[in-house]
Structure formats: C-alpha cells, structure tokens
A and B are shown apart, each in its own frame.
Chain A
Amino acid sequence: MFCTMARKRMASSKRKILWGVCLAIVCVGNIGLHAQTRSLPDVIESVQPKMVKIFGGGGLRRLESWQTGFFISNDGLIVTVWSYVLDSETTVVLSDGRRATAELLGYHPQYELALLKIDVQDQPFFNPDTSVRGVPGATVLAFSNLYGVANGNEQCSVQTGVVSALVPLNARRGNRRTSYQGPAMVVDAITNNPGAAGGAVTNRQGRWMGLIGRESRSTESDLWLNYAIPAAQVTMAMDLILAGKTSDKLSVDRKPTEPITLALIGLVMVPNVVARTPPFIDQVSAGGAAERAGLRKDDLIVEVGGKVTTSFNDLQTRLRQLDRDAQVTLMVQRGDEFINVTLQANQR
C-alpha cells in the first residue's frame, strides 16, 4: 500500500530511495511480526515438547487409566494431578514417542497434585518463574490427552478459548467436595474431559498459565466445570511437595468446634419439609438473642453475614461455620420491609 502510493508520488530518479524504503519494510516488518505474535502453529509446536501423556497400570473398572502432565524443569520433573492412575507403575510418553517409567516424588492430597520424575536432560519445560496469571477475557490454549485420543507418539490435543472467570473452586466429584478449594481459572472451552486432567493451559504466546483440574461439577450450579488450577497455586504445591511438607493444611475455611445453633440464638424455624424450604421464622424464644434483636415470627431470613440464604439447609450450613461467640449479622424480610440486625448468642 505504502509502496504504491510512494511510487505514484516519486519521480523515476528517486527509485534508489524507494528500494531502500521497501527493503526496510520487508526486513523490519518480519522481525516485528515474529517478536510480537508468533503464529498459532509456531506457538503450539513450541509447547508440545513440554507435554507428556501419562499411563497407569490398569485403572479401575470403567475408569480411564491415563492422564496428562508436563515438564517443569529441564531435568525431567513432571507435574500432574494426583489420582488413582498413579497408584501403580506409571509410564510417561513424551511428545516424540519416547517412553519412560516415572518415579513418584510425592503428592499433595489437598492440592490434588503429584510430582513425577524421569531421567532426561535439556528437556523443554514450563518455567514457573515466567508463568502468567489469567484474567477474564484472556485468550488461552489448552493442551491435554483428552479421551486418550493421542496414541503412540501423537501429540496432545489443543483447544482454544478464553478465561471466563477467576473464582474459588466450589465443586464436587460424585457426592464429595473436591479437596482443592483454592482459586480456579474457569475457561469457556470444554477442557475438563476424561484423561485431560494434568494438562497445561497457556496464553496465546505459549506461556504457562495453569494446570487442567480433574473433572468436577459446580456445587452451586450443578454444571460440569471447565477449569484450571492457576500456575501460582501449582508452583506453591510443587514447592511443598519438594520440601516434604505435604501434610500442611491449606487455609480453607476451618469449621469451629462449637458453632452457633438456631437454639442458641433463640430461633425455631418453619419445619424443613420441602427440598428447599425458605428460612421463615416459626417461633422466637422468650429472652433469647433473637428476641432482643427484635426478630419476629414469620420473618424470612434472607442474609447471613452479607450472603443470601437460599434455604433452611443453607442457613444451617452457614451458621455451622460461625463460632458460638461470634456476632451474627442477619437481614430479614418482614412484608415489604428489609431489616438488618446484629445479634450474639447467649453467654454460657
């Protein structure tokens, strides 16, 4: 475009200058492109050698016995999820088809992460020090052996999407809450499939962002979640495993030994008969904290500590997280009116 315009304006005697300009465009243009945005195929090609496919002995009936992992050091340290796949002898297959038996260095049950080791040198790896944090809207690439479709020396499958949200993981596997409850990077691609756990999520430039977690359903919405554990949390877990501190509890909400109960604050709720009984007050005990705070029969408890109480069961769960000596802030609905109260259980 610039060349054509220039040609029209310039006299033929100035052709030499024109050549210089064009040459500059071609040279610097190419360099600029490479420095700023490598093509997607180039980025993917540079990431694939860092990925491994992991195969376990047999696995349980009907459960897949493979997962994904990736190198985090040049001498063969591999991070992956901690699962039954690692229960027996573990085979690691590199992107070029080489295979090796891996040694399990350790695992962290609460992060649900494990570290494996194989003997290699000068291995391409994700450097934790240069990892990037995913923010909503950021483009991501996800690498994994989902559904075990990559056989032999085939490389991992690649998916693209964006970071949807960064939220604490509130999910369940079967009926049990996941052990990992730290930050999760929710993505909008369907990444969390059988065999994909332990895969890597990178940004558009191939820099490490996170590790694909095990398949789980959201506790709140009951939907299947697609998420990765952010690189920072994975790195923290790796450090703990290497230091042998795998029994360290994470700072997830500790339940008080003596929590608040409805009886303690002087409340009797409407019987919990349907699946999601709204938390209406049925009775306020005389002389109790609830009565002193002005609560009445038929008030609907809509908030505890600033968060909506969706049902009687939800109210119970929330109170159980509060120590009996703690102050409780409630919002109740009385007709069209919303009233905030603060109360404290009766002293013993």
Chain B
Amino acid sequence: MTAQKILVASMIGILVCMATSLSLTAQVAVELPAQSAIRNAMAKVNQSIVQIETIGGRDSVGGMRVTNQPRTGVVVGSEGWVITASFNLAHEPTTIFVRAPNEQRLPASVVSIDHSRKLTLLKIEPGQPLMEPVLIRRNQLAVGQAAIAVGRSLDWQNPNVSIGIISALRRIWDRAIQTDAAVSPHNFGGPLVDLNGRVMGILVPMSPQGDEVSDGTDWYDSGIGFAVPLEPAVLQQMLAGKSLWRGQLGVTFKEEAGYASRPIIAACSGNSPAARSGLQKGDEIRQVDGLPTSLVNQVRHAIGARYAGEEIAISYLRNNEMMNTTVVLAKKIEPWRHAMLGLLAESTADGLTIGHVFSTGPAAIAGIKVGDRLIGINGNPIASQKDLESELMNLAVGSRISVAVLRGEKQQRIDLSLVALSAERKDGVTWKAAGGSELISLKVAESPNVCHGYFPQSETPSAMLMWLGEPGESDAEATLATWKAWCDKTNTALLIPQSLDEKRWNRDELEFLNKVAAEARQQFNVDAFRLAVGGQSTGGTMASLVAMSQRSTWRGLVLVNSSASTSVAQYQSEPKQRQMVLIVDASAKAKTAQQLERWRKHFQEQMMPVVLLKTDPSDVPEIVTQWLSQLSRF
C-alpha cells in the first residue's frame, strides 16, 4: 500500500464525509421543518389557493365580530369549482368574488353546502382551467407528521403560512383532523397540506360543543385547529349541487356523561328515524355498522360523521336478547311536544303526591284528586317526579294512558288522554308559605364573582330562582327587598349573582352561575323540578344562555323585558329536557312588546311551552314566583 493510495482513500473519505454531514443536517432540521421543504410544499399548492372577497353582509356571526377581510378557498375542479369554509360566507354578503392566481376577480355563486363539515362549494367561470391540488386520503395521515396551514387572506400575491403537526385524527365525532398550526380567519377555507403540498383537509372552525357555523372561532391561533378531509364521493355530490346535512338518529340516552355511561335509550323522539326503525326506551345500542359501542360517546362517534339519508345498521339489546335494525338518518328531528296530565306533583316520603289538579285538565276530568298518590303509569311503577318525567318523555300528546293512584289505602286505575304541556299560569293554586331568613353570601372556589342567596325557612322543598339583574347592580339587599314578600309567601329561594364587569354579563361567567346554583341546591332543600333562571334586560339574555347550558337542570327560563340570546335560537324542545319559558312584558313599550312576542313565537315553534304576560313592573315578583311554584307540573 503506497502513501499515495492512502491519500486517495482519505480524500474519498472526506467526500463521503461531507455527504454524511449534509444528511445529518437534514436530520437535525427534522425538529423544525426545513425552510426549503416548506417552500417546496407551498410552491406545489400555491396555484390552487384562491382569495375570496365579499361585499356587504352582517357585521357579526354568532357573537363574533366579522369583517369583509379577504378569505381563502381551494380549487376542487379545474372548470371553476372552489371550496371554502362556510364561516367565510356566514355574514351573508351581497356579492362574492373569487380571485385565483393569474386570474382577475370573478363573481362566484354558491352551489351547495355541507352543513355537517361546514364547507361551501362555489362556482366561478375562469378564463383558463384552474389548477387542482393533489389530495391525500385520510387513511394515509399520521399523528405527528408535519402540517402546513395555508391562507390567501393577508396578501393576494403570496399565501400566508403557519406550521405545525397533525395533533390528532378523527376529531369532532370523526369529521375533522386536528392541528397545532395557527388557524384563524386568516386561513379558514384554506388547505392544511403536507410537506409534499398535498391537501390533507380544509381549515374550518369547529368545536366539539356545537355545530353552529361560528362554533370554534374563539379558538383561533390557540394551537387547536381543525381541517376537514375532502372525500371524493362527498365532493361528487356537492358538485352535483346537492347540499348535505349531518345525519340524526333521534334518541336520547339515559345518562348524559357520554364518556362513562352505557348507551341505554331513554326516549326516541316521536317521528325520529330511531322510533320508526323500532328502537324504544330501555334498548341498549351494542353495535353501529358492526363497530362495538359500549359507551354513549362511541355511538356518537360512529354516527357523527354520517350524513342525513345514509343508512346505518344497529344491533341492540332488548330484554337480554340481541336484535338488529337498520335506520335511515334524518336531516332534522322534529321538536318534541311534551305531554301532561294536568297536575302538580311533589316527591314526598310517601311517594309522589298530587298537590294540585288543574281544573279543566285530563287529570281533573278523569277524577284524580289532590292528595292522591300516583304510583304507576301503564303498569310501570312511579315513585318520584323523576320517574314520572322519564315515563312522560316517551308518551306522545294524545296517547291514552292508564294511571294507578292510591287514595288512602285504596288503589285505583284511572284512564286518561294526555294533552300538551302548557306554561300558562293556572289560577287557584295555593302555595305553602315559609318563614323569613337572612341574605347570605355564596362563593365558588376559584371564581371572583359574588352571589347572594335568600332561603326561606320551610319544612318542604322550596322553588329556586336565580335572578340576573342589570349588570353591575351591586345592591343585593335592594333586589331582595322587592322580592322578599313573595319569596316568603311562595316558599321560593332567590339567588342574586353579580356580574364582574359593570357594563355587561360575560359568557365566561356561565360556569360560575351554574356552579353556584349547584352549590345552593346541595346546601339547601330545593325542589329540583322548580328551578328557574331569569333576568331583566341584558340579565335576561344571559339567563337564556344559562338555561340552555344545562337544559336538564334549569326547568324554567324567565325573561323580563328581555330578549333571549340569538344563540338560543338553535335549541328546540327535546324529550329529555322539560323546559318552560315565562316572558314578562313590564315595559309598556311597543317595540319591546314586539320583540318579546317574536321570542314567544319562536319558543312556541320550537315546541317549548311558553307564556307571555303583560304586567306592571311592581307585579313582576308576584307573577314570577307564582309561575315558579307551578313549575313541577306533569
């Protein structure tokens, strides 16, 4: 071996070594994606990202202020098909323009909407074919892979970009993938792409808490963003002009904690797909399309991604026997009309006792009397208000039922036909008075809010009203002074929480309000079926949000001279949620009267029992407490 040869060998070594160091550099860069990789990916998808401009429209959507700032869309068909997040058009603009790279501004029309994935398909007539991006199928994605969120909102020339990874697959009931890249109106409607510039999904605001078009926008730039993968089969339907809706089954489960409880059906809403396919109260869903479902959330997950009109196979357990059925999911479940017998009933040590019978109701006509104990319906035993409620949630208005009552020691069977639950204030109801008490202050751990409470002294459970006055109203004593006489007369407890902000109630305070009410119920003897939240002016608007945030808890909503929050409009009556609304007009203003009448009509359309009463301001406590004392009506 000569020295020369050694030199040559060493030089080869150096060359190899340089190559190695280059590849090492690439490895180091894996922790932060290499700039060149990002640029390559952007270059591949750039031509397929368009800018969307709008003229006119509303200035807020679901409580979030929106602007006419340019938004983003993605080409899904070279002949001028563009998909975008429905949120980008939720302000209902007069005119929509799409501006593709190398194209002039072109007017666009809405072709179809996927209400489940919150996507809207637009059509323009481009001068030349648009560039379609490469899509990557959902089953090829992995958690942890690099993800680039792209928008064309800040600058028409150059897309804006943010970097992250795929945080999770199959989110929002299997409709979206999750990323930690910054997602906001700056890139809603734009694509989430991989390092090869392939489209993994369209960036859309989403929330596990709700399906409204603006739900999830408050998570902008938080590290929690969502993208909806594009399914070719779904796109085909949208291109054909077909709008899509989330598929609804129409069942209510016994337990609400979806992560911990078995999917046992509590009720199938009247004309729902579930009811039509033969499912009924007590059935336990064990499989959906062959996938085992041992928890409520597994059922939700199996159905969440399915569209209205799709058929699913359900296996369920009834009386220890496995049964099978198929269900065609529906676009909408009709609101449930609650039924009643026409009486007030309280849970007592002896069982469920009739406290009052409405004079012209079915119970009165059939001969049920005050003091009777209700012990069964259609052969099912009844021992409490809760039993009666869960029996009624499966019985339609007009059904003929057989009621078993105990009168003294004697059992009787009484047949009657159910009528629709009404929120009307009935006359002739007497109430149990209670002794006076002191105003106490209630605190909730980790919350700066203050709440005062008044609990009349009584042997029997009281009704409870959480009263939200004008924001910043700090004199609880003065508030109590106007209510106290009627609280004592009707045995009604009063909670008077205060807003932190002097000018308004804040949505963040919802949690506190629900917690403080739960605390009060735990500490004092309160009838869970006569629990209402109400308020005046903006306090009433806040009260409507409270009532809808825990629909099975709050039995009554009281609005005094006050509209409900617009986001309440999405709720309809459900079998499991027996909520009633009292609207009081003490304003003597024509405009307020009109507004209140609109809300009365709205609640009525959603099948929520509602009544609108006109009165003098000084009579508000009387009317509200009396209505409240009749809330446990069945």
Contacts from A to B (Cβ < 8 Å): 2, 13-14, 16-17, 20-25, 28-29, 32-33, 36-37, 39-40, 136-139, 160-167, 186, 188-190, 204, 218, 220-224, 226, 274-279, 300, 302-303, 308-311, 314, 333, 336, 338
From A20, A167, A303, A310, B10 is in contact (CB under 8 Å) with A20
Q: How far is the CA of A274 from the CA of B57 in the complex (A)?
A: 9
For A223, the chain B residues whose CB sits under 8 A away are: 184-186, 220-221
Is B14's beta carbon under 8 Å from chain A? yes
Q: 1/0 per position for B13-48, CB-CB distance to A under 8 A?
A: 110111011101100110111010011001000000
**Contact status of A28 and B21, CB under 8 A, knowing A16-B6, A188-B181, A224-B221:** yes
Q: How far in angstroms is the closest Cβ of chain A from B156?
A: 10
- Pick the most buried of B31, B159, B182: most chain A CB atoms within 10 A of its CB: B182
Is B154 part of the binding interface, using a Cβ–Cβ cutoff of 8 Å?
yes
Are B186 and A166 within 8 A (Cβ)?
no
Closest to B64 in A: A222
Q: Which of A39, A137, A278, A336 has the most CB of B within 10 A?
A: A137
**Pair A276/B59 contact, Cβ less than 8 Å:** yes
B245 neighbours in A (Cβ, 8 Å): none
**Closest beta carbon of chain A to B304's beta carbon, Å:** 29
Partner of A220, one of B67, B107, B160: B67
State whether A40 touches B56 (Cβ < 8 A).
Answer: no
**What are 21 A-to-B residue pairs whose CB atoms are below 8 Å?**
A14-B1, A16-B1, A16-B6, A17-B5, A20-B6, A28-B18, A32-B18, A33-B25, A138-B35, A139-B32, A164-B186, A188-B161, A188-B162, A204-B32, A204-B35, A220-B70, A276-B68, A300-B95, A302-B97, A308-B68, A310-B53
Measured between beta carbons, the chain A residues less than 8 angstroms from B9 are: 17, 20-21
A303 and B153 CA atoms in complex are apart in Å by 18
- A243 and B185 CA atoms in complex are apart in Å by 42
A222 engages B67 (CB within 8 Å)? yes
The CA of A336 and the CA of B108, in the complex, are separated in Å by 10
* CB of B147 to closest CB in A, whole Å: 12
- Whether, in the assembled complex, B242 has its beta carbon less than 8 Å from a beta carbon of chain A, the answer is no
Q: Which of chain B's residues 202-233 have a Cβ closer than 8 Å to chain A?
A: 220-221
B155 within 8 A of A: yes
Given A21-B9, A223-B185, A308-B97, 18 more A-B residue pairs with CB atoms under 8 Å apart are A14-B1, A32-B21, A37-B29, A137-B161, A139-B32, A160-B32, A161-B162, A167-B154, A186-B154, A189-B182, A204-B32, A226-B221, A277-B56, A279-B55, A308-B53, A311-B55, A311-B68, A338-B107
Once the chains are docked, how many angstroms separate the CA of A75 from the CA of B161? 38
Majority SS of interface residues in chain A? mixed
Roughly how many angstroms separate A309 CA and B35 CA in the complex, as a whole number?
A: 36
Q: A40-B31, A165-B155, A309-B55 are in contact. Are A22 and B13 (CB under 8 A)?
A: yes
Asked if B56 and A310 make an inter-chain contact with CB atoms under 8 angstroms apart, the answer reads yes
Chain B residue, CB-CB nearest to A141: B32
Is B364 in the interface zone, CB < 8 Å from A?
no
Q: How far is the CB of A173 from chain B (nearest CB, A)?
A: 17
Known: A20-B6, A221-B69. A166 touches B155 (CB 8 A): yes
Expressed in whole angstroms, the Cα–Cα distance for A309 and B68 within the complex equals: 9
Complex CA gap A13/B5 in Å reads 14
- What separation, in Å, do the CA atoms of A298 and B10 have in the docked complex? 82
* Minimum CB–CB distance for B414 against chain A, Å: 58
Beta-carbon contact of B186 and A308 below 8 Å = no
**What size tier do the contact residues of chain B reach?**
35 or more
Contact of B21 among A2, A36, A163, A309 (CB under 8 A): A36
List of B residues within 8 angstroms of A204 by Cβ: 32, 35
A302 touching B161 by the CB < 8 A rule? no
Do residues B161 and A24 form an inter-chain contact, with CB atoms below 8 A? no
Contacts of B10 in A (CB 8 A): 20-21, 24
| Minimum Cβ distance to chain A for residue B564 (Å) | 21
Q: Is the CB of A276 within 8 A of B58?
A: yes
User: CA of A308 to CA of B156 in the docked complex: distance in angstroms?
Assistant: 13
Task: Report if B65 contacts A (CB, 8 A).
Answer: yes
**Which residues of A have CB within 8 Å of B42?**
136-137
* A186-B160 in contact given A24-B14, A137-B39, A138-B35 (Cβ < 8 Å): yes
Q: Taking A223-B186, A223-B221, A279-B55 as contacts, is the C-beta distance between A314 and B68 under 8 angstroms? A: yes
Residue of B whose beta carbon sits closest to that of A303 = B105
Question: Which residues of chain B are near A163, meaning CB under 8 Å?
Answer: 161
How far is A167 from B69 in the complex, measured between Cα atoms in Å?
14
Q: Is the CB of B56 within 8 A of A278?
A: yes
Is B128 positioned at the interface, with any CB of A under 8 Å from its CB? Answer: no
Identify the 4 closest CB pairs spanning chains A and B, nearest first: A188-B162, A32-B21, A278-B56, A310-B68
Are A300 and B94 in contact (CB-based, < 8 A)?
yes
Chain A residue nearest in CB terms to B43:
A137
Task: Tell me whether A333 and B68 are in contact (CB under 8 A).
Answer: no
Instruction: Indicate whether B365 reaches chain A with its CB closer than 8 angstroms.
Output: no
Asked whether, in the complex, the Cβ of B186 is within 8 Å of the Cβ of A137, the reply is no
Q: Which of B432-464 contact A (CB under 8 A)?
A: none
Residue from A190, A221, A278 within 8 A of B55 (CB atoms): A278
Taking the closest CB of chain B, its distance from the CB of A172, in whole angstroms, is 12
Task: Considering the complex, give the chain B residue whose CB is closest to the CB of A18.
Answer: B9
Flag whether B269 is at the interface (Cβ < 8 A). Answer: no
- In the assembled complex, the Cα of A223 lies from the Cα of B107 at a distance in Å of 27
Measured between beta carbons, the chain A residues less than 8 angstroms from B105 are: 303, 308
Residue B613, interface by CB 8 Å: no
Give the residue of B5, B25, B28, B155 whose beta carbon is less than 8 angstroms from that of A167: B155
